Amino acid sequence: MIQPNPTKVTPFGAVNASVNRAADLLGIKENYRRLLTTCWRETKVSLPITDDKGELRVYEGYRVQHNGVRGPYKGGVRYHPEVDLDEVKSLASLMTWKCAIVNIPFGGAKGGICVDPAKLSERELQALTRRFVNSIKTMIGPYKDIMAPDMGTNPKVMGWMMDAYGQLNGYSPAIVTGKPVTLEGTPDRLDATGLGVAMITRRVMEARKEFLSGKTVVVQGFGNVGSFAALHLHRMSAKVIAVSDVNGTVFDKDGLDVEKLMAYLEAKKTLAGFPHAEFALPGELNALGLECDILVPAALGHVIHAGNVEAVKARYIIEGANGPITPEADDYLNRKGVIIVPDIMANAGGVVGSYFEWCQNIQMHHWERSESKLELDKFMSAALAGVSQAANKYGINYREAAFVVGVDRVYQAAAARGH
């Protein structure tokens, strides 16, 4: 039985340990390391709103801009009750490396509000969102800092953000990506992260002369990332044998019809009771420990840790979530020979989709779906090629190599600016 995380590694500390390892290999000097391991700007705002009963409620919000040497800051805004400054810093830093690895002209940022969005009415959530945008209005802009969805936020929230910013600055669709399609969002952004996860999984396996067809997949987390990763892996003929969310795991050893499962969840609001499959509560079974070829953790960070890593049986782990594996667990899995595709490469399809949306917004132009799918595959394949080359050159794993590629590109840009 998998246990909760007993150790306490700070998320920003964990990311910086990887940055420092890459800096060692690249021979980057101490003064530049400081630039790469600190955030450019860390903002904390107090967000008072009036709730539906007319009472005052105050929330805490953050926007952290980690590094902008390669372009405008870019990153999502997370609404979650466990959001804190250290976590937002770690996620902002991951965005810097992610954008560099897929070679899009953005720096890294992240935002968050410490709130459980499920406990707020739609009116309260909208008021909170508008207050947040108003509080950070001088930091953001279509060429300064562009927000996007993350955990607990969605296209609807992005639409409110665009409107709140537009009230102050006029029509500016490029201020935020992942918007509703009716507001110059793109239909492709919605599943871009999950599609990118599936594309990179296929490419990584092909590079090892293995093929996706018939391989067993377990997806932990069935939100935007997990559900579309499962769907596209299923469409690429992998066998998705289990998916889980906070309420439990649905499984079928012969493979789930993910298309139908998504429709079922939409209609019933639960995975439980899906026809011809079994269901277990979180206390009865943990999806992370199931026998499979490919495990896709696609929910919160640090879910695989020293206390439960020995139960993991997958041969491949594709990090749909940001930071799902603690450094200790990562060491253990690497020693065991598990192939780990790190978050900054595996889930970068989301920000690549955002980049496509931003490009269309600033040009007031629309692309075809087929064109953006092809482009996404090109960006993901190019990222893997660069990372594989670094892995071979230094004899290191994908995570170390991804950091080497990202850190090197940011370092080169900083040096070229004369920093």
| Residues in touch with ligand GLU (CB under 6 A) | 74-76, 148, 150, 177, 322, 347, 350-351, 354
Q: Is 268 a catalytic residue?
A: no
Q: Which amino acid is at 36?
A: L
Instruction: Compute the least distance from the CB of residue 78 to ligand GLU, in Å.
Output: 8
List b or e across 7-23, with b for residues whose CB sees 16 or more CB atoms inside 10 angstroms: eebebbebbbebbbbbb
CB nearer ligand GLU, residue 99 or residue 125: 99
* Choice between 255 and 350, CB closer to ligand GLU: 350
Kindly tell me which of 187 and 273 has the beta carbon lying closer to ligand GLU: 187
Of the candidates 159, 150, 165, the one whose C-alpha atom is nearest the C-alpha of residue 351 is: 150
Q: Give the nearest distance from C-beta 216 to ligand GLU in angstroms.
A: 26
Nearer to ligand GLU, 148 or 318 (CB): 148
Contacts of 93 (CB under 8 A, 6+ apart): 12, 15, 16, 19, 37, 39, 66, 67, 108
Q: Which residue is nearest to ligand GLU (CB)?
A: 76
Taking the least distance from each CB to ligand GLU, the nearer of 74 and 232 is: 74
For residue 299, how far is the Cα from the chain centroid? 9
Nearest CA among 163, 157, 165, 224 for reference residue 189: 224
Burial class (CB in 10 A: 0-12, 13-18, 19+), 375: middle
Q: Which of 250, 234, 240 is nearest to 191 (CA)?
A: 234
Please report how close the Cβ of residue 214 comes to ligand GLU at its closest, in angstroms: 30
Decide whether 11 or 75 has the Cβ nearer to ligand GLU. 75
In the complex, the smallest distance separating the C-beta of residue 142 from ligand GLU, rounded to whole angstroms, is: 13
Which one is catalytic: 98, 110, 179, 239? 110
Residue 106 CB, nearest distance to ligand GLU (Å)? 8
Least Cβ distance, residue 209 to ligand GLU (angstroms): 30
Q: Measured between alpha carbons, how far is 65 from 374 in angstroms, rounded to an integer?
A: 30
116 contacts 362 by C-beta, under 8 angstroms:
no
Of 178, 175, 15, 20, nearest to 96 by C-alpha is: 15
Q: Which is nearer to ligand GLU, 76 or 159 (CB)?
A: 76
Name the minimum Å distance from CB 120 to ligand GLU. 20
Residue with tokens 């600055």: 169
Active site residues: 110
